[in-house]
Structure formats: C-alpha cells, structure tokens
A = this chain, B = another copy of it.
C-alpha cells in the first residue's frame, strides 16, 4: 500500500484520459499493427510504470479507446436529442459530424486502425466476437433512434427500422472505406454522403 502512489479518483480518470488521447494520436498516425506500446508511452510523456497501473498491452488500450469513443458517441446523441427540433436533424448532424471526422487529416482518423484491428483479427474468435457485439450494438442504437422518429409520427418506413439501420450502416461503411483508400476527391465523398442521406430519407418516408 505504501509503495503505490496515492492519487484521487479524478486524478486517476484524468491520467487514464491522457493515455487514451495519446493512444488515439498514435493509432491515427500509424494504424494498429505498426503502433507499439512504446510509441504510446512516449506519446503520453509519462513513465512506463504509470501506464502499467492502467493497461498491460496495446490491445487493452485499443479496446478501452473503443469503449470510450462509444460512450462519447452515446452522450453526443443524448445531447443532440435534447437540442434538435427533430430526429431527422439528429441524424443529419450525426452524419455530417462523421464526415468531418473522416476528412480530417490524418485521413480517416482512427478508422484505418479500426479496420486493421478487426480485419486482421477476423479469424481470432475473441476479436470477431467483439466485432459482432459492436455491430449489433451499433445497429440497435441507430434503429432505436429511427424508432423514436416512428413513434413521434416523424417517419413512416415500409421496412423494419432494424433493416434500415443495417442498410444505412453498410452504405456508410462502404463510403468510409472508399474514402480512406482512394481519397475524398476520387471517391466523390461529398456527393456520396448526400446520396446516402437522400436514400435514408426515402426509406423513412414510404
């Protein structure tokens, strides 16, 4: 007990956040495979010992970062729901925020690292289990938003909100991967994003 540094919960949280911020920069810059725990430690400017109080491996940091981003995303949706005039406004704001993220250098932010992590780990059963869980959560989260619009009389879709959520997720995923791999000019990302929003609008108003 005497050996370990005594810090308050808020200090603990702050340090953890600093590690995740540093890791995000490293993964955005190098991708997943090429990034090392050493890179992340150096980026934090903290000592190895401090980091090991929180995380043991690069993988642990990466997964904590995903959880953290999900929590931020959930909170962001909650805030948008409180301040937006309609569910449709929430949706278009979410898409435009995602597009800003995508076009911000280094190209795609964390996304290439994300694809690397799961595609390479695709045959690893734990990782593929995590990916399946993340997919299902994402589909359910967006479907719940659509359902709210249905309940409020804003949307009148001919398909289930779950199927619409899956279609929007696929289309968006393809736009993301093409933008990352060939760039926003060649992929004509702006046009594609607008077409996706129009398509979604049509699915929601049958």
- Distance of A206 Cα from B85 Cα, bound (Å): 31
A170-195 near B? 1/0 per residue, CB < 8 Å: 11111101101111001110011001
Is there an interface contact between A135 and B181, defined as CB atoms closer than 8 Å? Answer: yes
Contact residues of A between 15 and 35, Cβ < 8 Å to B: 31, 33-34
Query: In the complex, what residue of chain B is closest to A170 when comparing beta carbons?
Result: B174
Interface size class of A (residues with CB under 8 A): 35 or more
Q: Determine the chain B residues whose CB is within 8 A of the CB of A167 once the complex forms.
A: 192, 195
A171 to chain B, nearest CB (A): 5
A-side binding surface: helix, strand, loop or mixed?
A: helix
A166 touches B181 (CB 8 A): no
Q: Chain B nearest CB: distance from A199 CB in Å? A: 6
**With known contacts A132-B182, A170-B178, A31–B123 Cβ distance under 8 A:** yes
* Bound complex: CA A169 to CA B115 (Å): 18
A107 CB → nearest B CB, Å:
9
17 A-B pairs with CB atoms under 8 Å apart are: A33-B120, A112-B119, A116-B119, A119-B119, A122-B180, A131-B181, A132-B183, A135-B181, A159-B195, A163-B188, A166-B178, A166-B188, A167-B195, A170-B192, A173-B174, A174-B175, A174-B177
